[in-house]
């Protein structure tokens, strides 16, 4: 599907973290798109098929980017595994079905690195996706997203429905969620270090032992990858979207504490889970298919994220 055939774009989760950046990315780089529509979850509950049907009747579109999701860190996933599975599965399944019925031309599903098996050879290749069970703490979320990928593949085969799946790594940047109850690792760490600095604390305690590795992608670059995929990618095979930069939790904590200006010690609570041992995507296919490659300026991204957080606090 060429860029000039995207005229009416619907973005679920368009007011969320990634969504606001995707909207801005299309506004800045796609003048041929006539309408970019978003909505609040209070307007249409995507878990209800009737609400999704009403949404697509009220907002006609030729392209859907599905970003809406129930997300959170390890703690939130452990506390609400049923809700993470049900909410994400039903939102996506209803939307894909109603999009098919409404003859939407292209559907872009934002999947997750959490769909990969717990023990996957590093770097993770798209062909490894079915070689084991995901890491237990976020398996319900990862499996729900993977089921939606299968739905799109099945619909392509039966209905010639053009749906693609992007497997996204951990994102960070301005607009991230800093609520300690359900934030991801970078905003969670950043807030803890900031509050410790402001309180004059001598130490901060973090979960696990600091050895697991993760891959992080700056949210503006993720938005660019989503746009490129909407413009150029039409295969049923999932596509990894990442930075190609693997970082241990210990190294990440040191980098964030430096940006925040916290000079105390960093302690690790080994009674808490580490999560998946390593995460790093093989991004060679996205580089080939989309000509997408991240800049990987982690320090700049962390500084911009912290500056946004301080502005939100009114500092």
Supply the residues annotated as catalytic: 141
264: which 2 tokens? Answer: 């105390």
Q: How many residues does the chain have?
A: 315
Question: Cis omega (within 30 of 0) on the bond before 123?
Answer: yes
φ, ψ of residue 216 in degrees (nearest 5): -125, 140
Q: Among candidates 164, 125, 116, which has minimal Cα distance to 244?
A: 125
Q: Using an 8 Å Cβ cutoff, are 240 and 122 in contact?
A: no
**Secondary structure of residue 194 in the 3-state scheme:** helix
Place of tokens 């098996």: 117
Q: Which two tokens stand for residue 306?
A: 């912290």
Query: What is the rounded end-to-end Cα distance, in angstroms, of the chain?
Result: 45
**Lookup: tokens for 137:** 């703490």
**Which residues 6+ apart lie within 8 Å of 160 measured at CB?**
none
Which two structure tokens, joined as six digits, stand for 182? 């359900």
Distance CA 175, CA 17 (A): 5
Query: Which tokens go with 23?
Result: 């909207």
């Amino acid at each position: 599907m060429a860029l000039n055939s995207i005229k009416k774009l619907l973005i679920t989760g368009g007011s969320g973290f990634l969504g606001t950046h995707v909207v801005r990315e299309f506004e800045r780089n796609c003048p041929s798109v006539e309408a970019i529509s978003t909505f609040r979850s209070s307007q249409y509950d995507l878990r209800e098929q009737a609400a999704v049907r009403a949404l697509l009747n009220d907002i006609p579109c030729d392209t859907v980017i599905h970003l809406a999701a129930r997300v959170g860190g390890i703690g939130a996933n452990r506390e609400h595994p049923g809700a993470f599975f049900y909410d994400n599965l039903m939102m996506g399944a209803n939307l894909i079905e109603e999009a098919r019925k409404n003859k939407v031309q292209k559907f872009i599903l934002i999947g997750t690195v959490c769909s990969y098996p717990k023990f996957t050879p590093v770097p993770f290749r798209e062909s490894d996706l079915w070689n084991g069970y995901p890491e237990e703490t976020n398996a319900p979320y990862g499996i729900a997203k993977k089921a939606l990928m299968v739905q799109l593949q099945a619909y392509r085969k039966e209905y010639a429905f053009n749906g693609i799946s992007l497997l996204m790594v951990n994102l960070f940047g301005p607009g991230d969620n800093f609520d300690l109850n359900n934030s991801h690792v970078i905003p969670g760490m950043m807030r803890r270090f900031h509050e410790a600095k402001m309180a004059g604390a001598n130490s901060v305690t973090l979960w696990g032992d600091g050895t697991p590795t993760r891959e992080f992608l700056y949210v503006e670059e993720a938005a660019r990858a989503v746009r490129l995929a909407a413009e150029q990618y039409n295969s049923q095979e999932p596509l990894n979207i990442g930075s190609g930069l693997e970082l241990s939790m210990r190294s990440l904590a040191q980098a964030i504490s430096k940006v925040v200006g916290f000079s105390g010690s960093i302690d690790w609570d080994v009674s808490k889970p580490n999560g998946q041992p390593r995460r790093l995507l093989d991004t060679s296919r996205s580089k080939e298919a989309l000509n997408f490659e991240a800049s990987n300026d982690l320090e700049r991204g962390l500084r911009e994220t912290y500056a946004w957080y301080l502005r939100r606090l009114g500092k």
